[in-house]
Amino acid sequence: MKKFFLYSAGFVAAIIALCLLAPVVALLISGALLAAGLHYYTESTSTFGKVMSLVVAFVGLVSAISNIPGFIGLVAIGIIFYIYKSRKNEKVEIFTSNKEEDPFMNFEREWANLNK
């Protein structure tokens, strides 16, 4: 029964994600406008260039904030990703901190081996 609900939730999320594909693309374009405006703001040396790049960034920000269906589409895509990972019995970890792969822990271990 659990798999049935999991697959039905995945099916509903897939339909929602497909229906809201255009707003997600519009959200991507808005984010690109915002990023480009902020990038050119930091690179510009003239006052006019800074003002115009801030206007572009502001337009991208307002467009991204007002795009609520795009955010719903992103949530649906996230749900599909979570269901896909849980179907394969993989643990979904967004922020991981593996101590064996940490370069500083590896350095400490190697330093301890050198001092022996």
pTM of the predicted structure, to 2 decimals: 0.67
Between 58 and 93, the higher pLDDT residue: 58
Between 100 and 47, the higher pLDDT residue: 47
Mean pLDDT of 64-72: 93
User: What phi and psi values does residue 8 have, to the nearest 5 degrees?
Assistant: -70, -35
Give tens-digit pLDDT for 72-81: 999 999 999 9
Q: How confident is the model at residue 34 (pLDDT cuts 50, 70, 90)?
A: very high
pLDDT-above-90 percentage for the chain? 60
Q: Specify burial of residue 44 (Cβ count, 10 A radius: 0-12, 13-18, 19+).
A: middle
